[in-house]
């Protein structure tokens, strides 16, 4: 399932997760996986259980056209139930596909930072060989309100190509005076029948914080009542929020 800021391919070498914070309440990934519970590779009774899909791991090696690839949209590769050999295998593929750009996101930044530092700085045995920083991998951290921002944003400083996802954004965030270490911030209102409220002022504050820090800003969508993702339908009073910048190239 492509997303606007990673539109070319999806690479779900693992799927599944458990709820981590308020942003997970109406998880669209869980709902999507539930619809595929009868397909091979999924548990019929618990399809959103953390699951490895070994036949998918090497998919990017066969995609010859340089692509922006959304990685693990249907799960969180930094979940505690994902063993290191799974991530090692995926990292090796990303290393061998410099033509592609990989976009991933997590609500578990401590694990992400630890694993990225391990994979980038430690000689690995077997198929990985000597690894290094991969400039084609963008490490995202998901935050939805002040509580999660306080707990997670500082981790962005510890990874290269780090960015933030405020999707869904569920409350105002008092951003640091400068957070230049975040290469980009993506903001979006929650969608779906159970969508929670979104105030455009939250996006305005985030846009100003990004401008102070020289950080790219991307407003994906407003509430459905305000035009959703179609900014041609956004109210004239919000035209200043029609900003869609990305730190990576499409």
* Token pair 């455009």 in the structure block, residue: 200
Q: List pLDDT tens digits, range 221-236.
A: 999 999 999 999 999 9
Spatial contact of 174 and 146, defined as CB atoms under 8 Å apart: yes
What pLDDT score was predicted for residue 216? 98
Q: Identify which has the larger pLDDT, 246 or 130.
A: 246
Q: Which among 17, 21, 27, 6 has a CA at the least distance from the CA of 191?
A: 27
Write out the two tokens for 8.
């070319």
What pLDDT score was predicted for residue 33? 82
Please name the helix (run of DSSP H) or strand (run of DSSP E) that holds residue 116, with its range, or none. Answer: helix 109-121
Spatial contact of 15 and 42, defined as CB atoms under 8 Å apart: yes
Q: List pLDDT tens digits, range 169-222.
A: 999 999 998 889 999 999 999 999 999 999 999 999 999 999 999 999 999 999
CA diameter of the chain: 57
Write out the two tokens for 74.
């249907």
Could you give the CA distance from residue 33 to residue 205 in angstroms, rounded to a whole number? Answer: 34
Examine the pLDDT at 113 and tell me if it is beyond 80: yes
Enter the pTM of the model.
Answer: 0.92
Could you give the CA distance from residue 72 to residue 82 in angstroms, rounded to a whole number? Answer: 12
Spatial contact of 133 and 6, defined as CB atoms under 8 Å apart: no
pLDDT band at 1 (very low <50, low <70, confident <90, very high): low
Angle at CA of residue 176, ends 175 and 182, nearest 5°? 85
């Amino acid at each position: 399932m492509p997303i606007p800021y990673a539109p070319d391919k999806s690479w779900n070498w693992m799927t599944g997760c458990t709820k981590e914070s308020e942003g997970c309440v109406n998880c669209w990934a869980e709902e999507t996986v539930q619809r595929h519970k009868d397909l091979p590779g999924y548990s019929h009774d618990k399809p959103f259980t953390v699951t490895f899909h070994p036949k998918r791991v090497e998919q990017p090696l066969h995609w010859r056209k340089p692509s922006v690839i959304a990685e693990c949209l249907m799960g969180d590769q930094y979940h505690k139930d994902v063993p290191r050999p799974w991530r090692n295998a995926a990292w090796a593929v990303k290393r061998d596909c410099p033509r592609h750009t990989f976009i991933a996101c997590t609500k578990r930044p401590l694990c992400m930072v630890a694993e990225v530092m391990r994979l980038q700085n430690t000689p690995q045995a077997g198929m990985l060989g000597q690894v290094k920083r991969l400039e084609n991998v963008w490490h995202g951290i998901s935050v939805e309100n002040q509580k999660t921002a306080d707990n997670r944003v500082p981790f962005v400083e510890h990874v290269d190509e780090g960015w933030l996802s405020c999707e869904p954004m569920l409350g105002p965030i008092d951003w640091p005076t400068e957070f230049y270490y975040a290469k980009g911030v993506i903001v979006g209102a929650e969608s779906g029948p159970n969508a929670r409220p979104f105030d455009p002022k939250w996006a305005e504050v985030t846009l100003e914080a990004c401008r102070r820090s020289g950080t790219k800003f991307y407003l994906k969508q407003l509430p459905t009542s305000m035009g959703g993702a179609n900014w041609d339908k956004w109210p004239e009073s919000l035209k200043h929020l029609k900003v869609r910048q990305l730190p990576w190239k499409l």
